[in-house]
Amino acid sequence: MQITSVLVANRGEIARRVFATCRRMGISTVAVYSDADAASPHVAEADAAVRLPGNTPGETYLRGELIIEAALSAGADAVHPGYGFLSENADFARAVQAAGLVWIGPPVSAIEQMGSKVESKKMMDAAGVPVLTELDPAEVTAAQLPVLIKASAGGGGRGMRVVRDLADLPGQLEAARREAESAFGDPTVFCERYLETGRHIEVQVMADTHGAVWAVGERECSIQRRHQKVVEEAPSPLVERVDHMRERLFEAARLATEAIGYEGAGTVEFLADEQGEFFFLEMNTRLQVEHPVTEQTTGLDLVRLQLQVASGRPLPTRQPELRGHSIEVRLYAEDPAHDWQPQSGTVHRIEIPGTTGEFTVLAEPGVRLDTGVVDGSVVGVHYDPMLAKVISFAETRDEAAHLLASALQRAQIHGLVTNRDLLVRVLRHEAFLAGDTDTAFFATHGLDKLSTPLVSEADEKLSIVAAALAESAANRAGARVAPGLPSGWRNLPSVPQSKSYESRVSGKHEVRYTLTRAGLEVEGQPGLELIEATPKSVVLRIPGERGPVQRRFEVARYGDVVAIDSPLGPVAVRRLPRFEDPADQVAEGSLLAPMPGSVIRLGAEVGAQVSKGQPILWLEAMKMEHTIAAPTDGILTELNVAVGQQVEVGAVLAVVHNETQE
């Protein structure tokens, strides 16, 4: 049949990605959105949009009956599930088809067979695909540790826990079940042997309704945090190195695909060792987040193929040959240096320089951007904090890594802390460039080192000087008297101008400077010359051992937040008031909410003796649980929250009093 209108049962970047292909094919689009997503770009881009009342996934994107009703009311004739939410829910797929809509995905039977990670492994074992032994959580012994707890109904790191101590198993099982229920609507979890290191290799498969099965290409997704992929690439450096590994991988992927009568796009995931041996992990019966790297290295539009297969058309007679290399990074609103703390708030600006395409396959080397946010978008607490996927394509792996690292370093990302600096350091790390990656990459090479800012301490100080000079220029531009004169300028010597800023990395900075007829004088920065200063940019000539170098700094202000971008690296600071309000001070030992969220559990009562690192309470935000621990040994003197309470970022949750500090 001819598909004329597609509802995407998803949000953000994936909805925009599917819409882009639909537009290229002349197919109209329908969006669904929660109240929190009312202003999301995917809503504005759709031909029609239907509200799902509520904010949380359980109220909205996990309500299959509401989504089907939305499709029918908007006149859609097909549903694309995207990834996450209900994309691997067999009951939803069955209900879509029962409503007379085309399901752009595999047969319900295939989803059911692969939907249970436990049963799928038994089936793959019978089909001749190598598997890891699955363990019953109730029967795990100390000799089998460490084990990995996994959600049976989904992936993406939700519901995953590594357990190394048998005493921790019951508590971790409960936490995993809660996360799995929140993310997928199914609390079922299981255990398997955990390999501390390994290579995560997956094969993209595509099958039509006429019996053709393609193993399109492999991807390596070994660099992960909290069992979620961060860097993905195609082809895999390991597979390139090991003789005949690609042939064996493709054969295993085809066996898995044929064993369940699969149709459409899917991914067969494996865990491999350095010798090229591999074990089946799971089959994702949907499109993957990282599908762009396969598109770039094959020239295929995988969403287009999904739509064609769902319409009953056969795959082309010839499979494409691999070309070049592609690397994708997931740009998250999170702080890797502080336990990957997710961030929320406004994205004031997001611009990736050198972008040559969005949601499209690049024909030439360049940078592709797939994002669900634009300038002014708000990142909330109800969904994954991924801002964008930034994808490079080049003839060689080294070129792709260099191109992507450069684009990220020069990107303007204002308003939220992100993992951008970490991504750049990974892409430039000698181990990564050598193809020496595994699932323990961050532990092996030190997350503390990889998450340090790109800009050096000395260069950060220069950037803050530029911020002060741009602010001074802005003040003069708004002055009613002599706006053309620099701020603080005098015929006679005068005291220096002073402006104070705070960096979340290096603390407080005071910039003391004087602008005279002789030029700029900055305390602690001898020889610095001011070439130009406007409210939005500052040009400085900086002294050096081999002579001065001129640099341009771009400055943007959003209230008291200042973002400074230059070739030296990105810097973000907060403008401090001249006089601090005592009401803004908090007591020593206070536990502040690192993000907005909901209190789901308490770990101690007022009056209890607690030790440093002891969990005091747990917050749920962005579909993950976050532990709030005591900052020091002492007495819990205040507990200002209750289970179920919503809290804002910066709220004082509790106070631990340490008598030794008196």
> Cα 154 from chain centroid?
17
pLDDT in the model for residue 182: 81
Least-confidence region, from 88-92, 229-233, 489-493, 519-523: 489-493
DSSP secondary structure letter of residue 562: E
Q: Rounded to 5, what percent of the chain is helix, strand, coil?
A: 30, 30, 40
Neighbours of 332 (CB within 10 A): 27
**DSSP string covering 115-180:** HSHHHHHHHHHHTT--BPPEE-GGG--GGG-SEEEEESS--TTTT-EEE-SGGGHHHHHHHHHHHH
**Helix, strand or coil for residue 476?**
helix
Q: Which domains does the chain have, with CATH numbers?
A: 5-104 (3.40.50.20), 131-193 (3.30.1490.20), 324-452 (3.30.470.20), 459-575 (3.30.700), 582-661 (2.40.50.100)
Contact status, residue 341 vs residue 227, Cβ threshold 8 Å: no
Give 583-606 pLDDT, tens digit per residue: 556 678 889 888 788 899 999 999
Three-state DSSP at 78 gives: strand
Residue keyed to tokens 């012994």: 141
Rounded Cα distance between 83 and 12, Å, is: 11
What is the DSSP track for 227-277? Answer: TEEEEEEES-HHHHHSTTHHHHHHHHHHHHHHHTT--EEEEEEEEE-TTS-
What is the Cα–Cα distance from 401 to 135, expressed in whole angstroms? 39
Please answer whether residues 377 and 41 qualify as being in contact, where contact means their C-beta atoms are separated by less than 8 angstroms: yes
**Residues 6+ away with beta carbon under 8 Å from 517:** none
Residue 292 main-chain phi, psi, to 5 deg: -60, -30
pLDDT at 624: 74
CB neighbour class for 233 (10 Å; exposed up to 12, middle 13-18, buried from 19): buried
The string of pLDDT tens digits covering residues 557-576 is: 999 999 999 999 999 999 99
pLDDT value at position 220? 98
- Which is nearest to 249 in space by CA: 194, 306, 205, 192? 205
Contacts of residue 578, defined as CB under 8 A and 6 or more positions apart, other chains included, come to: 500
Burial (CB count within 10 angstroms: exposed 0-12, middle 13-18, buried 19+), residue 340:
buried
Task: Please report, rounded to a whole number, the percentage of residues in the chain having pLDDT higher than 90.
Answer: 76
**Confidence tier at 480 by pLDDT (50, 70, 90):** low
- CA 260/CA 439 separation, integer angstroms: 29
pLDDT band (50, 70, 90) for residue 623: low
Mean pLDDT score, 519-531: 92
Strand partners, 225: 228
